[in-house]
Amino acid sequence: MSVFTPQQVDEYLAYIKFPREQHASDGLERLKQLMKRHTCRFPFETLSLHYSPHRTVSLDPEALHHKMLVEKRGGFCLEQNELFGSVLRGLGYKAYPVAGRSNIRNTWTPLIHMHNIAVIDGKRYYVDVGMGALGPFEPVLLSPSGGQQGREYVQIWPRRIRIDYRPIQSPSYNSGLPVWILMSSENDAPETPWTEVMAFSDVELMPGDLEMMNYFVSTHPCSYFAQTVLAMRGIMGQSGEVEGIMVLHKDMVRRSMQSTQPETLAKLGTEEQRVRALEKYFDIRLSPVQQRSIRGFAAELKDKLVTGLSVLDDDRKLERL
């Protein structure tokens, strides 16, 4: 059951410019359009952990509605997928939240990623609008096949993704129990390796689970989001497909379009420049109070002379965007 009223669901549909009269009768096709439009309209961003006096994130449905639809903001995975799951249930879908762990430089993180599984005509689909540039832009069928590789999907050409069903390596005890593993390959060349991106199971999360995950991501000293100013959104082409990604990572803005090399759009040397970049490239407007809230913290951009463009720093995944 959705926590959103029909009016709130209609507000969401109007915001992504996808009113009910444009919806396909086929539930899977409708879900594909919802995911693509959501990814291009709501930026994946960590700004509430840096540009706010309280530096906290609320998963309360009304708070999410206000932040993302009234303030015209985005959020990280818990916010994005909690909002999207509520909208799906409001549209009559069966959808429930599950947890995942990311693979960062061949090390599995704790279970701090959240996305949804939707059930359509008895089939389950991986639905994730909370991975920014790294996730799928359409539902991915979950089909257990005893270790067999899953079907390949094109994300933004030539990048491909698939979901395998097999065990992951454990540092302590390998139970042999299979999980779903999101795989990614940078192009379609046969020699290009596939990389493990994220792993998850089918266990439904409860509200308390989400609060614990949110607390860790928002406050733990080792949380990447709590350390890093980040925003990214999809770029929709005239064909209605997601054809590119816009990324603001710390002091750099980059755009990546299909089959082309990433383009550096801006190198940011001051907070004023970053605030302007958020407005220009992501349509995010921060209030004066929000802008001042980052002062004195590690993520603040200290005033410095920027004489040219340089590349992104050490985050290897974002360097590929």
Average pLDDT of the segment spanning 137-141: 95
pLDDT score at 321: 52
The answer to whether residue 318 scores a pLDDT higher than 60 is no
What DSSP element (H or E) covers 10? helix 6-15
Topology adopted by domain 6-216: Arylamine N-acetyltransferase fold (3.30.2140)
Domain ranges of the chain: 6-216, 227-319
256-296 residue pLDDT tens: 998 788 999 999 999 999 999 999 999 999 999 999 999 99
Q: Which residues contact residue 6 at a Cβ distance below 8 angstroms, ignoring those fewer than 6 apart?
A: 90
The answer to whether residue 316 scores a pLDDT higher than 70 is no
Contact 129, 42 (CB under 8 A): yes
Report pTM: 0.91
Cα–Cα dist 264/256, whole Å: 9
pLDDT score at 313: 38
The answer to whether residue 305 scores a pLDDT higher than 60 is no
Residue type, 167: P
Contact 185, 149 (CB under 8 A): no
What DSSP element (H or E) covers 103? strand 94-104
Cα–Cα dist 137/155, whole Å: 7
pLDDT score at 191: 87
Cα–Cα dist 123/131, whole Å: 22
Transcribe 121-155 into DSSP letters.
Answer: TTEEEEE-S-STTSS-SS-EE----TTPPPPPEES
Cα–Cα dist 85/89, whole Å: 6
Contact 83, 26 (CB under 8 A): no
Measuring CA to CA, how many Å separate 100 from each of 25, 42, 67, 110, 127?
Answer: 31, 21, 25, 8, 12
47-102 residue pLDDT tens: 999 999 999 999 999 999 999 999 999 999 999 999 999 999 999 999 999 999 99
Transcribe 23-89 into DSSP letters.
Answer: --SSHHHHHHHHHHHHHHHS-EE-GGGTSSSS------HHHHHIIIIIS---B-HHHHHHHHHHHHH
What DSSP element (H or E) covers 253? strand 252-257
Q: Which residues contact residue 77 at a Cβ distance below 8 angstroms, ignoring those fewer than 6 apart?
A: 44, 113, 114, 115, 128, 130, 131
The answer to whether residue 249 scores a pLDDT higher than 50 is yes
The CA-based angle 45-51-52, given to 5 degrees, is 115
pLDDT band at 174 (very low <50, low <70, confident <90, very high): confident
Mean of per-residue pLDDT scores for the chain = 91
